[in-house]
């Protein structure tokens, strides 16, 4: 079974998470934001791809070094890739289904924190970037962000949440989707 490993990183004194999806036929790195040597050390198999949830510096600052060391292709939403000057990448789109290293990954375009933010659905789990944070959601008071868009994005991912769904956020611990649904005041109400 595929394991998703959280890699807590230090981005200039600010905590940020990378993830390594240990897929059947290789590893997939998500969000190379800092400490490239720590991210690379977590890979147990050849790295098949590097995925980007969004283009903020704390999520892509180690990208060039991780890409150089692994030779893996980078996948990003064009809006955020172009906005950050990321070159030579595989474009992601809403509803796209990827199969990488034997793992099926559903891509959902989830703007609101950044225009090209995406969520990666792996099995029942979701790698959400900064869409959902512990007891909160991603900032909407920064350039390219919008509360109205974050709410629409939340309504897109929440129907997929099951009792065992984990939310692998860009900051803080791995979250239980059900706990967030009960306790996170920023999530929109779910209609039965």
Name 34's Cβ contacts closer than 8 Å, sequence gap at least 6.
9, 10, 11, 12, 16, 18, 58, 61, 62
Name 106's Cβ contacts closer than 8 Å, sequence gap at least 6.
95, 96, 97, 98, 120, 121
Q: The whole model's pTM is what?
A: 0.97
Sheet holding 166-169, edge to edge: 97-100, 103-109, 118-122, 125-129, 166-169, 175-176
Residue 19 tokens read as: 């993830």
pLDDT of residue 190: 74
What residue ranges do the domains of the chain occupy? 3-183
Bridge-based pairing state of the strands 14-23 and 132-133: unpaired
Give, for all 192 residues of the chain, the pLDDT tens digit. 789 999 999 999 999 999 999 999 999 999 999 999 999 999 999 999 999 999 999 999 999 999 999 999 999 999 999 999 999 999 999 999 999 999 999 999 999 999 999 999 999 999 999 999 999 999 999 999 999 999 999 999 999 999 999 999 999 999 999 999 999 999 998 765
CA dist 45 and 42 (Å) reads 9
pLDDT of residue 192: 56
Tokens 């939340």 found at: 154
Q: Cα(first)–Cα(last) distance of the chain, in Å?
A: 32
- CATH for the stretch 3-183: 3.60.15.10
pLDDT of residue 2: 84
């Amino acid at each position: 079974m595929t394991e998703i490993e959280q890699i807590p990183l230090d981005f200039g004194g600010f905590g940020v998470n990378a993830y390594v999806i240990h897929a059947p036929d290789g590893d997939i790195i998500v969000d190379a934001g800092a400490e490239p040597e720590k991210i690379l050390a977590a890979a147990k198999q050849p790295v098949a791809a590097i995925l980007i949830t969004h283009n903020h510096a704390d999520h892509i600052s180690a990208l060039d070094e991780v890409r150089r060391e692994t030779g893996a292709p980078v996948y990003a939403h064009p809006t955020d890739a172009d906005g950050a000057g990321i070159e030579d990448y595989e474009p992601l789109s809403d509803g796209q289904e990827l199969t990488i290293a034997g793992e099926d990954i559903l891509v959902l375009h989830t703007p609101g924190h950044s225009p090209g933010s995406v969520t990666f659905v792996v099995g029942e789990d979701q790698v959400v970037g900064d869409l959902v944070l512990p007891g909160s959601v991603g900032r909407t008071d920064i350039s390219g962000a919008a509360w109205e868009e974050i709410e629409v994005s939340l309504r897109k991912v929440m129907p997929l949440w099951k009792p065992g769904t984990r939310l692998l956020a860009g900051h803080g611990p791995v979250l239980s989707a059900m706990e967030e649904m009960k306790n996170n005041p920023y999530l929109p109400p779910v209609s039965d």
